[in-house]
Amino acid sequence: MTGNIDLDALRADLAEFAEPAPEAAGSPLGERVLAGFDEIQRWVTEHGRLPCHGEGIDIFERLYAVRLDRIRAQQELCALLEPIDHHGILKGSKELPSDPATLSVDELAAQLAGIARSESEITTLRHVRSRAEIQSAEEIATRQPCADFEQFQPLFKGVQDEIRAGIRQTRRFGRDAIITVRDFFVLGGQLVYVAEMGEVYRTPEGAPNARLRVIYSNGTESNLLIRSLQNALYKDETGRRVTEPDAGPLFAAHADEGDLASGKVYVLRSRSDHPEIASRRDLIHKIGVTGGDVAGRIGNAKLDPTYLLADVEVVTTYQLYHINRTKLENLLHRVFDPARLSITLTDRFGNPVSPREWFLVPLFVIDEAIERIRDGTITDYSYDPAKGSLVRRKT
């Protein structure tokens, strides 16, 4: 059952109530505390009681119970929230065997994880709603009216018009696909806009995560984590990414039965002993597109200036279907142009040559670029050598 519990999300939620109280309700932290308390109030309204601790209780009810005790333990938070405490929740009599104010966030998360691992808990939780059901209900429950929706409404109308006109397209959302600010999606039959993103951190599995401000076309908003939005889009059979204008279907993520392969993107590494190349061998890559056999193209690499007059090794390839190879190669080279290798060599005839298809780019960034080609967002990005990453182009 532990695989179904997002401890990162629990830590993020609990951490907000372990920090010193905000000076004003209008501060960013104050807004988060108010939103968190509002979730507790909605839960109490729905269930007619305060959230409880104990065996056999829904993990999210326990989270609300811990959060409530954290709030009660801090007078400043109680003073902040008392004006909106419509149910008298802060004056309730529920007590915990252990004072949560003395526990760290990590200890609280460890307790929750330990509960989830216990054998009796596994037996009990089989009667609880599935994680997918809980997540779906939570995503709906945490939505609230968007106070400044008027500034987003024209964006939604513009995107809808562009989809109807064929300027934008919708494409199936892949597992763990990239999400960034200003992206549009279709979720649960509604348009979704990512308006803001908080500080990005890494989960224990190494995946990027951050709190998002997500606006919905029905005038509501929520503060989902990236991982929550990714999971919701992937699990929704109608979940789609909305492409940028004129992104074009460069290639499909998967080949349908009967599809004919159009070619490959290939990434090469040089075996040259030239000092400038050898010192940065793992960073210097040739990126190209071919409709033929890659091995056949590099057979005489050491005689060809295109391959730095040295043997090369194939690092990786990406199969393409139904694409314009020339258009795709030009696009990739334009994206990585800021990191184009500038070097002049002398060929076997004594002539100076300057190969143009080699770039100082890490392999993982090339992988990201290919993923962005698949989801249609690549035209919004270029490579920043100083940051060593793809960055969104300024509009």
Token pair recorded at residue 231: 């999971």
The half-sphere exposure of 101 on its side-chain side, counting CA atoms within 13 A, is 11
Torsions phi, psi of 365, nearest 5? -75, -35
What is the overall mean pLDDT for the chain?
76
Please count the other Cβ atoms lying within 10 Å of the Cβ belonging to residue 361.
24
User: In this predicted structure, what is the pLDDT of residue 338?
Assistant: 92
Q: Is the pTM of this model over 0.85?
A: no
Helix and strand counts by DSSP (H, E) for the chain = 13, 17
pLDDT in tens, 153-198: 999 998 888 888 777 778 888 776 788 888 899 988 889 999 999 8
What does the alpha-carbon distance between residue 354 and residue 100 come to, in Å, rounded to a whole number? 66
What does the alpha-carbon distance between residue 271 and residue 309 come to, in Å, rounded to a whole number? 10
Token pair recorded at residue 328: 């795709």
User: In this predicted structure, what is the pLDDT of residue 358?
Assistant: 94
User: In this predicted structure, what is the pLDDT of residue 286?
Assistant: 94
User: In this predicted structure, what is the pLDDT of residue 356?
Assistant: 86
Fill in the DSSP letter of residue 225.
Answer: B
User: In this predicted structure, what is the pLDDT of residue 245?
Assistant: 66
What does the alpha-carbon distance between residue 177 and residue 236 come to, in Å, rounded to a whole number? 14
Looking at residue 141, its amino acid is A
Task: List the chain residues with pLDDT less than 70.
Answer: 1-31, 56, 92-142, 176, 245-262, 321-322, 395
pLDDT in tens, 364-377: 899 888 888 877 78
Token pair recorded at residue 159: 């995107």
User: In this predicted structure, what is the pLDDT of residue 136?
Assistant: 47
User: In this predicted structure, what is the pLDDT of residue 361?
Assistant: 93
